[in-house]
Amino acid sequence: MRLTQSVSRNVGFNLLVFLLVLLVSFGLGAGKKKKHVVVSDRLLAAICQVESGCNPDVKDGDNGKAKGMYQIWESFHTDALEFDPSIGGCYEDVKDKEYAEKVIRAYMQRYAPNNATDEQIARIHNSGPRALTKKRIRLTDEYWAKVKQHL
C-alpha cells in the first residue's frame, strides 16, 4: 500500500514539475517563432537625413519631445529598452548616433512585422506601433515619400 502511494505521489509531482516547466517555457517565448526584422544602414541613413539632416547638434524637436539625429521620443526609447534591456543607457543617450540606432533596431524588433519592408519600418519610426493601420497609414505618406527620396 505504501509503495503504491509513494509511486502515485512521485508521478503526480513529476507531472506537476513538467507542466510548470512547459508553462514557463512558453511564457518566456520558447514556443514562439523569432521575428526577422532587418533595419538596414541605408534606411537608417535616409531616416537620419529626413529627421535632422544628420546634424549631430540638432535641437530637440516636436516641442522638446524628440531628441537626437533620429528625433526619438522618450516613449520610443522606453519601449525599445523594455524589449531589449541589454541596450542599457538612458534616454539622453539617444543623442549618440550609434546608441540611437540600437534603440531603433530594438523598437523595430518589437513592433515591425516579420520581414518588414523599408517603408513599414520608416512609417513605424515616424508614427509608432500602430502606423500601419488603415486609419494611420495616410498620416505617414508624406514622411515615407521623403525617406524614399534618400534611399
Mean pLDDT of 15-24: 51
* Model pTM score: 0.78
What is the rounded CA–CA span in Å between residue 116 and residue 17? 39
Q: List the Cα angle 64/90/113 in 5-degree steps.
A: 85
120, 113 contact by CB (below 8 A): yes
| Angle between helical axes of 97-111 and 74-83 (0-180°, round to 10) | 70
CA dist 53 → 68, 70, 117, 147 (Å): 11, 9, 22, 11
Q: What is the pLDDT of residue 33?
A: 61
C-alpha cell at position 6: 509513494
For 41-150, CATH gives: 1.10.530.10
- In the chain, % of residues over pLDDT 70: 78
Counting every residue written for the chain, the total comes to 151
> Per-residue pLDDT for 89 more than 50?
yes
Among candidate residues 107, 148, 104, 112, the one with its CA nearest the CA of residue 130: 112
Residue pLDDT, tens place only, 25-57: 555 544 456 789 999 999 999 999 999 999 999
Q: What is the pLDDT, as a whole number, of residue 34?
A: 76
Domain boundaries, the chain: 1-32, 41-150
Neighbours of 129 (CB within 10 A): 14
Give the integer Cα–Cα distance in Å for 45 and 139. 22
Summarize pLDDT for 59-75 with one digit per residue, the tens.
999 999 999 999 999 99
